[in-house]
Amino acid sequence: MAELAGIYAASHGPLIVRKWNAVTPEHRQVLTSAFTELGRRISAARLDALVIISPDHWVNFFIDNLPSICVGVGATHPGPNEPWLMKEYPHTTLPGHPQLAGHILETAFDAGFEPSVSHRMILDHGFCIPLMKAGVDPRLPIVPVVFNDIEPPFPSVRRCYAWGEMLAKAIRSMPGDLRVGVLASGGLSHSIGEATMGLVEEEFDRECLAHFSKGDPGALCDFLTQRLPQVGNGASEIRNWVAAHGAAGGRGFELINYSPVPEVIVGCGFASWNPVSR
Amino acid sequence: MRDYWLSKLFFDLQDPAKAAEYRAGREQVLARYELEPQVRTAVETDDVAFLAQRVNPYLLRFYFLVAGMSEEEFLRRIRATGEANG
């Protein structure tokens, strides 16, 4: 059976690429080091496939039909659509892993989840910035999973945790000897297009990270269920980290770095989990 | 509640060709969307506060980038919506 060989999380944010030159040298060094360490850990895990959980920033979906969770099952996925990112990360397509994606879907439906399916999921900056900045080999097959972190109603925090648990079960029951990683992309606090735009809520971020470190999933879910509606809208992407925490069985969280970076208007967090064998 | 056609306009302008057409002349692009008169006026007058109540914040932010409003001006106007709401 396949092995869950690594679980990771990283912030994204267009300004990390689009306004990189406006980032202070100190913060550039911090972000570069964090992404480099993330890439080192991913490389060291010798992955055969990487499941990435990210929001869709109005690229694949619109309010005509907005799935809570969608799994990309394509053999390839179109690369970034944003013109500013296409210059920096010029991949028109990235490889998929239809067999693994299909197995995740089957496991999800058996477990009482009903994700939607995309045979052509465009990988926007949420997927591509961590891949690019961490230097992940672009030949590594990707299974993209979109969580709706952008437009209410959102999947509940507890449901995201449970989804992560299911994802780990799916990976570990995948026939073959694949080494599979999970990467949560997004968060921590940020605020986009609302009255608090640009605000990074460091106190909230640090409290959130403390909950991940303690490992108590119930307390983490209670905290986020209560606090997410009170902070900037971008923090909703922490749902993706919660799924990664679920995949890790709520244990083994290790913070690589946290830095509030006002130039990119994101509380930037980077982490990995030591997968618990079951 | 979201304004569908306003949201659709902002969503569609992610296409660089449509965005270029819009920047060249808003009138012919706006004519394709069934905008309520007061919504259309708000678009034509760059009324950030009015529009912010009717679309997703990410689409709002993206739209004003496309429409050519400076980052500083957008921040000033969107932050003012918070001050106005107390």
Please tell me the predicted confidence (pLDDT) of residue B56.
Answer: 98
Question: Are residues B56 and A151, on separate chains, in Cβ contact within 8 Å?
Answer: yes
Question: Looking at the partner chain, which of B4, B8, B78 has a beta carbon nearest the beta carbon of A197?
Answer: B78
Give the pLDDT band (50/70/90) at residue B83.
Answer: confident
If contacts are CB pairs under 8 Å, which of residues 4-23 in chain B contact chain A? 4, 7-8, 11, 14, 16
Say yes or no to pLDDT of B84 above 90: no
Helix/strand number for chain A, H first, E second: 9, 10
- Return the residue in B2, B6, B14 with the most chain A beta carbons within 10 A, the one to mutate for interface testing: B14
Q: Which residues of A touch B60 (CB under 8 A)?
A: 193
Helix %, strand %, coil % of chain A (to 5): 40, 20, 35
Which of residues 36 through 75 in chain B touch A, CB cutoff 8 A?
A: 52, 56-62, 75
Contact residues of A toward B, CB < 8 A = 57-59, 62-63, 81, 83, 150-151, 192-198, 233
Chain A residues with CB under 8 Å of B71 CB are none
User: Do A58 and B58 lie within an 8 Å CB cutoff?
Assistant: yes
Query: C-alpha angle with apex A138: A136 to A142, nearest 5 degrees?
Result: 90
pLDDT at B1 (0 to 100): 85
Selection from A269, A268, A191, A261 nearest residue A22 by Cα:
A261
Query: Which residue in B4, B58, B61, B71 has the most chain A C-beta atoms within 10 A of its own C-beta, making it the best mutation to test that interface?
Result: B58
3-class DSSP state of A222: helix
Instruction: Give residue for tokens 């992404």.
Output: A35
Residue A148 has pLDDT above 90, yes or no: yes
Nearest-by-Cβ selection for B57 from A63, A81, A192 = A192
Q: Which residues in chain B have their CB less than 8 angstroms from residue A193's CB?
A: 52, 56-62, 78
**Residue B86 pLDDT exceeds 70:** no
Evaluate if residue A278 carries a pLDDT over 70.
no
The mean pLDDT of chain A is: 97
Residue A277 has pLDDT above 70, yes or no: no
Q: What is the pTM of this model?
A: 0.97
| Residue A91 clears pLDDT 70, i.e. is over it | yes
Q: Where are the beta strands (DSSP E) in B11-84?
A: none
Cβ distance A42 to A113 under 8 Å?
Answer: no
Question: Rounded distance, CA A236 to CA A154, Å?
Answer: 8
Report whether A31 contacts A164 (CB < 8 A): no
Residue A51 near residue A143 (C-beta atoms within 8 A): yes
Residue A196: its pLDDT value, please? 97
Lowest mean pLDDT among A13-22, A104-113, A211-220, B75-84: B75-84
pLDDT recorded at residue B85: 65
pLDDT at A11 over 70: yes
Check pLDDT > 70 for residue A168.
Answer: yes
The CA distance from A238 to A188, in Å, is 6
- Cβ atoms A264, A19 nearer than 8 A: yes
CA B79 to chain centre: 16
Band (pLDDT 50/70/90 cuts) for residue A276 is low
- Give helix then strand counts, H and E, for chain B: 7, 0
Taking only the tens place, the pLDDT of each residue in A238-257 is 999 999 999 999 999 999 99
The model's confidence at residue A270, banded by pLDDT at 50, 70 and 90, is very high
Q: Which of A86, A264, A85, A252 is nearest to A182 (CA)?
A: A252
Tens digit of each residue's pLDDT (9 = 90 or more) over A188-210: 999 999 999 999 999 999 999 99
The residue whose two tokens read 């969280």 is A253
User: Smallest Cβ distance to A192: which of B7, B61, B82?
Assistant: B61
* pLDDT per position as a tens digit, A38-59: 999 999 999 999 999 999 999 9
**Interface-testing mutation among A56, A197, A264, with chain B (most B C-beta atoms within 10 A):** A197
**Residues A22-31 pLDDT 10s:** 999 999 999 9
Q: How confident is the model at residue B82 (pLDDT cuts 50, 70, 90)?
A: confident
Residue A269, φ and ψ in degrees, nearest 5: -125, 145
Provide the β-strand partners of residue A3. A179
